[in-house]
Amino acid sequence: MTTEVLGVSLQYSHSIGRGEFAGPGFRNPVALARGAEGLMYVLNRAYEYRPDGKRVTICTVDEEYIGEFARGVNTAGITDIVTEDGSLIWPTSVALDKEGNVYVADEWLNRISIFSKDGEWIGKWGTEGSGDGEISKPSGMVFDADDNLIMVDSQNNRIQKFTKDGKFISVFGSQGSGDGEFNLPWGIDLDKEGNIYVADWRNDRIQKFTKDGKFLVAFGTSGSEPGELNRPTGVAVDRTGMIYVADWGNERMQMYDPAGKFVTLTTGDGTMSKWGKDKLDGNAEMWELREIAQGLEREKDFWGPVAVTVDDEDRVFVVESCRNRIQVYRRQEPMFQGGGRL
């Protein structure tokens, strides 16, 4: 269901994914980074009982499977959890630097793991703590125009900027609910001017800052009415400054204008993905079960829309942690009858 309030709207494109612990598909995906030439890096958190599902899946927007890398740590023993380089326990986010290297944050290990664009482990950094440059439960990450990494340091309720090899540059924010304060923030993105947008998760709002961390504006209040938020997890800003928010607790994605005014929302339009069709073709009885299933329209709905990303082509990607799926939308400008753009 897509509600159009102003001229700009969202056009559903297609769905990507299916539930898998390995290979083509995802398992509790929590983040997505867009690479060059249609590449996507999808971070799968999976769960403790099945650490094999924790990984980064490389695929394309057209649902071509490329490969996967990084593996979950087996925490099935009560003690002696072994964390080898490149392994994951509670991965939260993924970001790409200008060279296309892949940075993965782990909020249990307080570790940033670095991989080449093909998934080869090339480094790590991160020290637990609350001092400058120390981190506690890193969540969202994004690279700025200078190729520095801006990170949501969630448990410390602040935003830190690092060089890509982990040298501390700057910090802003503290615990609270006032302007510039945070309560367990999660997702982050930048607009083309470098302004910083943070999903201030437990304050049910989005905050916008200058690139230097000066507070500009906050929008969103607790609730489930259009424009209101319930534990927003992800935020993304497109080339025109439109803002997309993964409204996790309300199971929807909302769109706001550059001033933070509500524009439209969607609760999902999911359809059969290419990988999904392949799976059903291999389990033909499932096609038959779908024929008689009741309430199949529920398959459209978001479940656990945890992250949102936009690319340079105005495509919007919504990651659903519980449906193991990514729904792709496209921002649509209003058209005049003559065919001109607004």
* Interface positions with another protein (CB under 8 A): 17-19, 25, 28, 30, 45-50, 75-78, 81, 89-90, 107-108, 184, 186, 201-202, 231, 249, 270, 272-273, 275-277, 279-280, 283, 286, 289-290, 292-296, 298-299, 303-304, 306, 321-325
**Smallest gap from residue 141 Cβ to another protein (A):** 17
**Smallest gap from residue 170 Cβ to another protein (A):** 26
Nearest to 149, CA basis, from 136, 162, 134: 162
| Residue closer to another protein (CB basis): 169 or 286 | 286
- Count of CB atoms within 10 A of residue 219's CB? 18
Tally of residues, the chain? 342
Read off the amino acid at residue 91.
P
**Smallest gap from residue 286 Cβ to another protein (A):** 4
The H or E element spanning position 246 is strand 243-247
Measured CA distances, 114 to 21, 33, 56, 214, 311 (Å): 22, 14, 12, 29, 22
| Residue closer to another protein (CB basis): 106 or 191 | 106
Which token pair is 155?
């448990």
Q: How far apart are CA 21 and CA 50, in angstroms?
A: 8
Beta-bridge mates of residue 305: 320
| Residue closer to another protein (CB basis): 97 or 299 | 299
**Smallest gap from residue 298 Cβ to another protein (A):** 5
Residue 119, φ and ψ in degrees, nearest 5: 100, 10
| Residue closer to another protein (CB basis): 143 or 182 | 182
**Smallest gap from residue 337 Cβ to another protein (A):** 39
| Residue closer to another protein (CB basis): 173 or 270 | 270
